Amino acid sequence: MNTNQTKLRLMSEINVVPYIDVMLVLLIIFMITAPLLTEGISVDLPNAAASQLDPELLKDNEPIVLSVDRDGKFYLNIADDEEAAIDEDTVVELASAAIRRNAQTPVLVKADESVAYGRVVIGATLLQQAGATKIGFQTDPTDTERRPGVR
């Protein structure tokens, strides 16, 4: 037997380069689509006849209430001065500090009915950035006598 023939062996390794290419393509696809899946604001909207918050929830936790007035200015009930308008960065700072202290704190948005919808969405987004997972909207009870035509 020739010594050159004994050194020749069959190579039995799998070429993994195509698998790596496919995995990188999938990774890029998932990186692009993942932020699109979380774009919406998760809110618990009240029904037409909205029910009240659970009294047990409010017993130990004062809710964070973000108010939006008719001019679109933000007010926060946990701010040093509840009557003074605050900017968006202050909303996020104060709300995130309160949510870090107690993650079970109810979070509500109270907006004037004539305020632009975009301002309400911005307010809810700020609360979401602060760490709120559930955001409710505060409404007045339905009063059929006050509003003609409502049944």
Question: Which domain range does residue 17 map to?
Answer: 11-37
* Pair 99, 123 in one domain: yes
Residue 18 has pLDDT above 60, yes or no: yes
Domains: count for the chain: 2
Measured CA angle at 71 (ends 118, 50), to 5 deg = 60
CB atoms within 10 A of CB 137: 15
Would 105 be classed as within a structural domain? yes
Burial class (CB in 10 A: 0-12, 13-18, 19+), 116: middle
Residue with the two structure tokens 């699109």? 36
Q: What is the pLDDT averaged over residues 43-59?
A: 54
Would 147 be classed as within a structural domain? no
Single-letter amino acid, residue 11: M
Q: What is the pLDDT averaged over residues 105-118?
A: 85
CB 130 within 8 A of CB 102: no
* Pair 49, 103 in one domain: yes
What pLDDT score was predicted for residue 53?
A: 64
Report pLDDT digits (tens) over 116-149.
889 999 999 999 999 988 888 877 665 544 444 4
* Pair 24, 98 in one domain: no
Would 5 be classed as within a structural domain? no
Q: Is pLDDT larger for residue 19 or for residue 70? A: 19
